[in-house]
A and B are shown apart, each in its own frame.
Chain A
């Protein structure tokens, strides 16, 4: 019982008829979870739409404070990481463990690059005093009415997204650990890899909406 399970001998849980059924159920669970993520971010996108409609000039002005090149770089990095994530799953399915591990490691690395770029963006803005309302000190922007809403939404949405990137990186690292130290995944069992992969893609997808809405006005 206590022997580590390896790729060839994964046992499905006792209440499922077969490993296939367990796989389908797990995947359905992940999809439902992704639905909750979309609804959660959905609330924020609704707020963004409302305030863009109310104060379009605020979003025009706000977008001048963010650097679209940074945003574009991060978009490319995340899209590339989605490719490597998908490759990781693909290689596990093919039984090519080494390539799978490299793909996933690259994915985590891309996540890290994304966060570093984000860190520079944030610290630059905070340096200029373009912080959320309670800490907003920028003198030039202060006379634009309602400009603080732009930054409130900017930090909330990209911040929540960034938190998801961090969680995603943690999850992929956990997959890597299980793959490297325990050799758990292979053509017969890759459920957690696929689940984490789906999560990673949704994070990517949300960023693809955030980028034009905040950077390209």
Chain B
């Protein structure tokens, strides 16, 4: 047995073990990461089709390609798929799985079998969610607000059970990451020498572990409420539907930071590498991730400004929400300061990083606007909110996700993608994104409510622009898909460190060997020693 192991010891992880079965039973964090990648791409494609259906319906007032009931379902599936199956697992489960152990100088995550199990739990949850399509479908929106989610005749139970199951997967991934960061750092890799991506994933993991169980119990209660009538969300039994909103957002607001923190980690890596400069304010960026994680637990009430919570609670939540702007701004300023007088190279990943900063700035600042109670009463449940969170989730997370894919693609597959189409995909995504969502700020401030399949005729022009923008985004993602597939098939061979990165993953072969490191490295300096 021993000599066989030696023979394959230096083979890269993609060829260590052959056949589908070796992938499905793998305990290698890199392979599990890629399995997440493939699954998430499929879900992203489906969620994207739903997005296009929504925008196409809204190209003109009245019923265009579907009726109102159909629209409610399309909107629900777009939201649920994108949130639970794409953006939440996107960066942590895919990029995080691939990178976290390597960046720490470890051979694997702390619990490899648990890691594989969480992948299957995730897929099981996704499967259960999707089976709801074959019932009457779900039309509640992705937030499943009571009392409607208790009354509607649809597959709410299946969808919610799926989300519950995917939440378990998210908890297990987070748990695994925390222990890995605590216990598997290479000698000399102190906490303050960890790459900022790791800090971001670590903060995310804390949120995943501490917030998701509350969503779990909320969704479980919703299922029980529908099946047996527990009564706590049902006002006819003396329950309180607003309690559902409290419970739901106690998870789902931290979940917003589960979505954005890893993206910020990716951006920190990209900015440092493509500015060829030691990152400015390493400690500040690292601790601001933790600060965002801590604050995120105390801001959920800003979703309930108009739901009938007390004014004092509203004021407090408004204030704490605005505080989130501080650590976020710390990050932004530090990134800009890193670029200042750096040798900035606008390769495709860096274009996405710069695009992120531009879009996330708008998303973040409009978030502070919405945290202002007086303004929120006016803007609540309008397209202004839709535009705001798309600027954060898509403009933020997805831009970072794309930048991250292009950046680490050579490491994952040992091949390069072509620069030109990669940049072209950025151009279409970035342009299309602004064309789609900027008009929605205007629509929202003019009073167009969200989640309706119809609108007043005077909103037609802006909606039409928005719909055209969504086609541009779709074009951009299709170009990106083509670029990646072309890179996989015909990309030229990548060197170990094509971008001149300084973190540990660039010190090993592309693609890495099965064990990541032949010899565990000894760390003697910080992660971004450019000068």
Contacts and interface: CB of A to CB of B under 8 A. Distances in A.
B184 interface: yes
A57 B101 CA distance: 55
B171 A36 contact: yes
B232 A153 contact: yes
Interface string B487-519: 000000000000000000000000000010000
Nearest to B168: A36
Contacts of B220: 160
Interface stretch (A22-30, A80-88, A167-175): A22-30
Interface stretch (A69-77, A115-123, A144-152): A144-152
Interface in A21-71: 21, 24-26, 28-29, 32-33, 35-37, 39-44, 46-47, 50-51, 54-55, 58
B210 interface: yes
B23 interface: no
Interface stretch (B173-181, B193-201, B368-376): B173-181
B110 A29 contact: yes
A28 B217 contact: no
The listed residue with most A CB atoms (<10 A of its CB), out of B110, B114, B212, is B110
B456 interface: no
Contacts of A133: 228-231, 234, 237
A197 B84 CA distance: 33
Nearest to A24: B183
Interface in B52-110: 101, 106-108, 110
A46 B175 CA distance: 24
B237 A146 contact: yes
B209 A148 contact: no
Interface stretch (B239-247, B272-280, B390-398, B521-529): B239-247
B449 interface: no
* Most B Cβ at <10 Å: residue of A136, A145, A152, A160: A152
Range of interface residues on A (Cβ < 8 Å):
35 or more
The secondary structure that dominates the A interface is helix
A95 interface: no
A32 B183 contact: no
Contact of B213 (A40, A148, A149): A40
B232 A47 contact: yes
Interface string B145-178: 0000000000000000000000000010001101
Given A15-B184, A25-B183, A40-B217, A148 B112 contact: no
Contact of A29 (B106, B175, B213, B229): B175
Contact of A39 (B1, B179, B213): B213
Interface string A122-154: 000000000111111000000001101100110
A169 to B, nearest CB: 21
Most buried by A among B178, B228, B247, B515: B228
B504 to A, nearest CB: 15
Interface in B231-262: 231-232, 234, 237-240, 243, 247
A152 B229 contact: yes
A29 B176 contact: yes
Contacts of A41: 217
B232 A15 contact: no
Nearest to A25: B183
A36 B212 contact: yes
B224 interface: yes
Contact of A51 (B183, B184, B224, B232): B232
A155 interface: yes
B247 A43 contact: yes
Contacts of A155: 228, 230
B221 interface: yes
Given A15-B106, A29-B179, A39 B230 contact: no
Contacts of A132: 224, 228-231
Contacts of A35: 209-210
B111 interface: yes
A147 to B, nearest CB: 9
B234 to A, nearest CB: 8
A54 B179 CA distance: 41
A29 B232 CA distance: 33
B216 interface: yes
Contacts of B106: 15
B296 to A, nearest CB: 14
A102 B184 CA distance: 36
A207 to B, nearest CB: 17
B362 interface: no
A146 B218 contact: no
A30 to B, nearest CB: 9
B183 A36 contact: no
Contacts of A55: 238
A13 interface: yes
B184 A25 contact: yes
Contacts of B176: 29
Contact of B179 (A25, A44, A131): A25
Q: 8 nearest interchain CB pairs? A: A133-B229, A146-B238, A152-B230, A15-B107, A132-B228, A43-B217, A40-B213, A39-B213
Given A32-B175, A145-B238, A152-B237, 17 more contacts: A15-B101, A15-B106, A25-B182, A25-B184, A28-B182, A29-B110, A29-B176, A39-B214, A51-B232, A132-B229, A132-B230, A133-B231, A146-B231, A149-B230, A149-B239, A152-B230, A153-B232
29 contacts: A15-B107, A15-B110, A24-B183, A25-B111, A28-B178, A29-B110, A36-B175, A36-B210, A36-B212, A37-B213, A39-B213, A40-B214, A42-B214, A47-B243, A50-B240, A55-B238, A58-B238, A131-B228, A132-B228, A133-B228, A133-B230, A134-B227, A145-B238, A146-B237, A149-B230, A149-B239, A152-B224, A152-B229, A155-B228
Interface of B: 1, 101, 106-108, 110-112, 114, 171, 175-176, 178-179, 182-184, 209-214, 216-218, 220-221, 224, 227-232, 234, 237-240, 243, 247, 515
